[in-house]
Amino acid sequence: MKFPLLLALLVGGASTLHLRSDTSDFKSPLRDENLPRDVGMSRPEVEECPPGEGLIPLEEEEGSGSEDTPGDEGAVSGQDVSDEDLQCPKEEDTVRLMGDSGCKTCRYLLVRSPHQFDNAQAVCRRCYRGSLASIHSFRVNFYIQCSVRGLNQGQVWIGGRISGWGRCKRFGWVDGSSWNFAFWAAGQPGRGGGRCVTLCTQGGHWRRSVCAKRRPFICSY
């Protein structure tokens, strides 16, 4: 009776060893070496901004409440306005400003009839072969402010405008000149809606404004 029992135990033990050997050689399809090496959480690409002047710091731009939308910007300021639809201002609606003593070739024109920013740029380009004024020094800014402070509209367009979106917003002049000077009002430019720049007739400080607003403007030519 003991011999058959011992034989049964030996056969059972051998089967158990064989099963363990087969199991240890089995490779699970879920083991690390069978998983793709590049699987992971996708990371959003970081937008790289080209270096340049006039870049708006992100901490200033957050919560600015800009009222403009991407469709309002346009490819190039003023080029979406048909020349056939443009009418040059009447002479009584303009004031030719005296040339700045520090710049013999600088000439400025105040157009009193209000226009949207793009239309104002188109008028400067077509009617006076110029552009909305770019300002590069306090002296010129003060000179223009003194010339327009009698206007009761409060603000006039100058040629500053934001280009780009998100982290790459930057200010520039529509005539393509360098953005090397600014004279912002308190809280500006981070706390004001709009992608276009105005000069305040009282004090001469600059503010951001919605480009679709109609304002008097300054041409340089």
- At 90, the pLDDT band (50, 70, 90 cuts) reads very high
β-pairing verdict for 94-97 and 108-115: antiparallel
- Angstrom distances, CA of residue 27 to CA of 20, 23, 36, 148: 13, 9, 16, 83
Task: Over range 194-218, report the average pLDDT.
Answer: 96
Residue 168 has pLDDT above 70, yes or no: yes
Task: Over range 93-118, report the average pLDDT.
Answer: 83
Give CA angle at 210 (51, 217), nearest 5°.
90
Task: Over range 67-73, report the average pLDDT.
Answer: 48
Give residue 157's pLDDT: 98
The alpha carbon of 182 is separated from its chain's Cα centroid by a whole number of angstroms, namely: 17
How far apart, in whole angstroms, are the C-alpha atoms of residue 39 and residue 71?
Answer: 38
- At 91, the pLDDT band (50, 70, 90 cuts) reads very high
Which of 174, 142, 144, 173 minimizes the C-alpha distance to 156? 144
- 11-20, 97-106, 175-184: range with lowest mean pLDDT: 11-20
Residue 213 has pLDDT above 70, yes or no: yes
Residue 77 has pLDDT above 70, yes or no: no
Give residue 129's pLDDT: 94
Give residue 94's pLDDT: 94
The architecture of the domain spanning 58-220 is Roll (3.10)
**Cβ–Cβ < 8 Å for 209, 75:** no
Give residue 18's pLDDT: 47
Chain mean pLDDT for the chain? 75
Q: Where do the structural domains in the chain lie, given as residue ranges? A: 58-220
Task: Over range 10-30, report the average pLDDT.
Answer: 47
Task: Over range 56-79, report the average pLDDT.
Answer: 46
β-pair partners for 155: 200
Ranked by mean pLDDT, the top range of 63-67, 69-73, 81-85 is 81-85
Give residue 73's pLDDT: 47
